[in-house]
Amino acid sequence: MRAIRVEATNGPEAALPAEVPAPAPGDHVLVDVHAAGVSFPELLMCSGQYQMRPDPPFVPGSEVAGTVVSAPPGSGLGAGDRVAAFSVYGGWAERVAVPVHAVFALPPGLSFTAGAALPMNYLTGHFALVRRARLEKGETVLVHGAAGGVGTAAIQIARTYGARVIAVASSAAKRDLARQAGADHTVDVPGFAAAVRDLTRGTGADVIVDPVGGDRVTDSLRCLRPEERLLVVGFTGGEIPSVRLNRLLLNNISVVGVAWGAYWMSRPAYLAEQLPIRHHGSGARRLAFLE
């Protein structure tokens, strides 16, 4: 079958079309891939810079959407079902085999393209805000990288849980995208801390979602309310920042790590907690939070 295979870990340009063996489903769900996501971790993986470092050659692709070819008995899935799946590897191919717990039927009307964007971005955002931050209704959430995949997902999830959202983005076009995603306010990167203080009448944000890192972390800590939390989601800015611990001490601030993949891979049942499954008359499994 056709696939995009990484021949050497020297960057995305090493991801090339190739013929590879078709996967054997075993006790997994075999999926015909109609759309596959391209995430920031996969770009790092192509350069050998991610914490997961498969030996080349390998086929990347951690999130896909498509139709079921075959599924194990009792899985609630059948041939022809439209699904989204978190494949970890192998999704940049015509077919991929995925464990049952990481495959979920798509509601009618949700496109394959949208479905392929769900697993990494939305489940990371949900894990960050709901489990790690324990977000409460009425809190103010600041989202960095607000026009990116995790950023737009975090905006929508925070709004769903009744939070007020301030989005930080580096251009007018990106800020417009954040507003379309549901942000209550949008601000530019330069001066964002002062803007947050103005918008919150000096009290600051309750939760900060930061998939960017780099030199904005210090200002993020400055615009947090005492006893509140900064969520470290990633480092798309390219630099892993250092934090002066006295800043945490003086305002009783929490810096909270968010590693969704590392968490659920050792606890596969957690995916079902994030995505409650409703069994309809057809027996198909659906993502309840999408309905």
What count of other Cβ atoms lies within 10 Å of the Cβ of residue 126?
A: 22
Q: Could you give the C-alpha distances from 182 to 147, 151, 154, 223, 259, in angstroms and in order? A: 11, 11, 10, 21, 25
Tokens, residue 152:
């737009």
Tell me the pLDDT band of 91, cut-offs 50, 70 and 90.
Answer: very high
Strands 29-36 and 2-6, bridge-based pairing: unpaired
Read off the pLDDT of residues 180-223 as tens digits, 9 standing for 90 and up.
Answer: 999 999 999 999 999 999 999 999 999 999 999 988 999 999 99
Mapped onto helix, strand or coil, the DSSP state of residue 2 is strand
Nearest CA to 158 out of 128, 185, 180 is that of 128
What contacts 160, CB < 8 A, 6 or more positions away? Answer: none
CB 144 within 8 A of CB 211: yes
Q: What is the pLDDT of residue 239?
A: 85
Alpha helices of 82-164 — where are they, by DSSP H?
112-116, 118-126, 149-160
The structure tokens 């007020």 sit at 164
Residues linked to residue 36 through DSSP beta bridges, in sequence order = 64
Strand order of the β-sheet with 95-98 is 95-98, 29-36, 63-70, 82-86, 103-105, 285-287, 277-279
d(CA 151, CA 291) in angstroms, rounded, equals: 21
Please tell me which residue, 58 or 118, carries the higher pLDDT value. 58
Which burial class, exposed, middle or buried, applies to 253 when counting CB atoms under 10 A from its CB (0-12, 13-18, 19+)?
buried
Please tell me which residue, 241 or 163, carries the higher pLDDT value. 163
Burial 78-103 (b: 16+ CB within 10 A, else e): eeebbbbbbbbbbbbbebbbbbbbbb
Read off the pLDDT of residues 232-253 as tens digits, 9 standing for 90 and up.
Answer: 998 888 888 888 898 899 899 9
Please tell me which residue, 279 or 35, carries the higher pLDDT value. 35
3-state helix vs strand vs coil in the chain, percent to 5: 30, 25, 40
Q: What is the pLDDT of residue 162?
A: 96
Q: Please check the confidence at residue 264 and state whether its pLDDT lies above 70.
A: yes
Q: Please check the confidence at residue 289 and state whether its pLDDT lies above 70.
A: no
pTM value > 0.95: no
Please tell me which residue, 277 or 82, carries the higher pLDDT value. 82
Q: What is the pLDDT of residue 12?
A: 87
Q: What is the pLDDT of residue 285?
A: 41
Instruction: Tell me the average pLDDT across 87-95.
Output: 94
CB 14 within 8 A of CB 6: yes
Q: Which domains does the chain have, with CATH numbers?
A: 2-106 (3.90.180.10), 121-263 (3.40.50.720)
